[in-house]
């Protein structure tokens, strides 16, 4: 089981806001720390911290029928001191494309929603070589004035590939001489997500979510749990149309729920 929290602080600037389309750029710094590292010639085991800087671009458009279509690309530049992967290039990426909209409007603040979400993560410092989550879902959305609460259920495809050089608890390539193909898992998946946000003031918002992915195909069992907490503060007084973001993301990956990683 791998635990990999990520703390990130960023400032985003909104470069365009017209016709219900937002385009923005963020830049900041982060600290990724990984626990459950096995002792190796490269690392003494325990927990690793990796500091770095990051930038992202995001686009979101809302149609007249309240369908939201968006996407983002995040790039992380790491100061890799621990070298969990000796061949790691200290740049990694996250991509996200999404769409959602009301399927049934029950009241002004309560809706039955549809969701599409496609995520891709590449070359992380934590030993994740590649992670793909393509999910389709339905959910209940309650959004009265400044508060938001949603419960969503998804079905789709989950793929995870562990780097063959990473000295993490489930990566035992030296002992078992795994090939790269042995370290990848693609399976059908179910996912449940609970999310909430609260606009405490006009400028200050707190939000977060918890989400679980489980396998319905190869090696049934839970695959990953994710926990996210974020604080957003409007900083128009510093930079016009800007926000300050502080986000903490934690993921726990179950390395023993599938025979590939046992």
Predicted confidence (pLDDT) per residue in 123-155, tens digit: 777 667 889 999 999 999 999 989 999 999 999
* CA atoms of 241 and 13, how far apart (whole Å): 6
Question: What's the pLDDT at 234?
Answer: 86
- Mean pLDDT for the stretch of residues 67-80: 90
More confident residue, 35 or 160: 160
Longest dimension (CA), the chain: 60
Which domain CATH number covers 170?
A: 2.40.128
- Mean pLDDT for the stretch of residues 203-215: 94
Q: For residue 175, name the pLDDT band (cuts at 50, 70, 90).
A: very low
Contact assessment for residue 103 and residue 110, using Cβ atoms and an 8 Å cutoff:
no
> Is 160 within the bounds of a domain?
yes
Question: What's the pLDDT at 44?
Answer: 53
Contact assessment for residue 249 and residue 228, using Cβ atoms and an 8 Å cutoff:
yes
92 contact partners, CB below 8 Å, separation of at least 6: 75, 76, 78, 121, 122, 123, 124, 125
More confident residue, 131 or 80: 131
Question: What's the pLDDT at 13?
Answer: 52
Q: Is the pLDDT of residue 196 over 90?
A: yes
> Is 257 within the bounds of a domain?
no
Q: For residue 21, name the pLDDT band (cuts at 50, 70, 90).
A: confident
- Mean pLDDT for the stretch of residues 207-223: 86
Q: For residue 165, name the pLDDT band (cuts at 50, 70, 90).
A: low
Distances (CA, A) of 152 to 74, 139, 165, 192: 24, 4, 36, 6
> Is 13 within the bounds of a domain?
yes
Question: What's the pLDDT at 166?
Answer: 52
Q: Which range, of 8-17, 52-61, 76-85, averages the lowest pLDDT?
A: 8-17
* Closest to 122 measured CA to CA, from 158, 166, 92: 92
**Owning domain of residue 168:** 2-34+44-247
φ, ψ for residue 216, nearest 5 deg: -115, 5
> Is 252 within the bounds of a domain?
no
Q: Which range, of 9-18, 73-82, 125-134, 144-153, averages the lowest pLDDT?
A: 9-18
> Is 132 within the bounds of a domain?
yes
> Is 233 within the bounds of a domain?
yes
Question: What's the pLDDT at 193?
Answer: 98
Q: Is the pLDDT of residue 116 over 90?
A: yes
* Rounded (10°) CA dihedral 160, 162, 163, 165: 180
Q: Is the pLDDT of residue 256 over 90?
A: no
Contact assessment for residue 245 and residue 13, using Cβ atoms and an 8 Å cutoff:
no
Question: What's the pLDDT at 147?
Answer: 93
Q: Is the pLDDT of residue 17 over 80?
A: no
Q: Is the pLDDT of residue 14 over 60?
A: no
If one counts the domains in the chain, the total is: 1
Instruction: State the alpha helices, DSSP H only, in the chain.
Output: 173-176
pLDDT above 70 coverage of the chain, percent: 72
* Closest to 59 measured CA to CA, from 28, 30, 26, 27: 26
> Is 207 within the bounds of a domain?
yes
* Rounded (10°) CA dihedral 234, 236, 242, 246: -30
> Is 112 within the bounds of a domain?
yes
Question: What's the pLDDT at 11?
Answer: 57
155 contact partners, CB below 8 Å, separation of at least 6: 135, 136, 137, 188, 189, 190, 191, 216
Q: What is the DSSP letter of 45?
A: S
* Closest to 162 measured CA to CA, from 150, 148, 143, 178: 178
């Amino acid at each position: 089981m791998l635990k990999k929290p990520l703390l990130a602080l960023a400032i985003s600037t909104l470069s365009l806001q017209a016709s219900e389309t937002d385009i923005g750029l963020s830049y900041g710094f982060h600290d990724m720390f990984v626990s459950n590292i096995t002792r190796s010639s490269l690392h003494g085991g325990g927990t690793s911290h990796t500091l770095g800087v990051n930038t992202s671009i995001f686009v979101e458009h809302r149609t007249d029928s309240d369908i939201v279509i968006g996407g983002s690309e995040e790039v992380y530049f790491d100061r890799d001191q621990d070298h969990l992967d000796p061949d790691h290039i200290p740049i990694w990426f996250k991509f996200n494309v999404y769409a959602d909209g009301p399927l049934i409007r029950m009241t002004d603040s309560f809706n039955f929603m549809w969701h599409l979400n496609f995520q891709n993560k590449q070359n992380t410092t934590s030993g994740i070589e590649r992670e793909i989550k393509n999910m389709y879902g339905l959910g209940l959305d309650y959004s009265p004035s400044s508060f938001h609460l949603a419960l969503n259920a998804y079905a789709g495809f989950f793929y995870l590939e562990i780097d063959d050089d990473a000295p993490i608890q489930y990566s035992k390539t030296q002992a078992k001489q795994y090939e790269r193909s042995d370290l990848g898992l693609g399976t059908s998946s179910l996912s449940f997500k609970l999310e909430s946000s609260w606009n405490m003031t006009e400028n200050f918002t707190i939000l977060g979510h918890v989400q679980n992915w489980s396998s319905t195909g190869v090696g049934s069992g839970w695959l990953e749990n994710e926990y996210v907490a974020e604080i957003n503060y409007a900083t128009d007084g510093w930079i016009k149309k800007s926000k300050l973001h502080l986000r903490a993301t934690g993921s726990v990956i179950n390395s023993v729920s599938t025979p590939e990683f046992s």
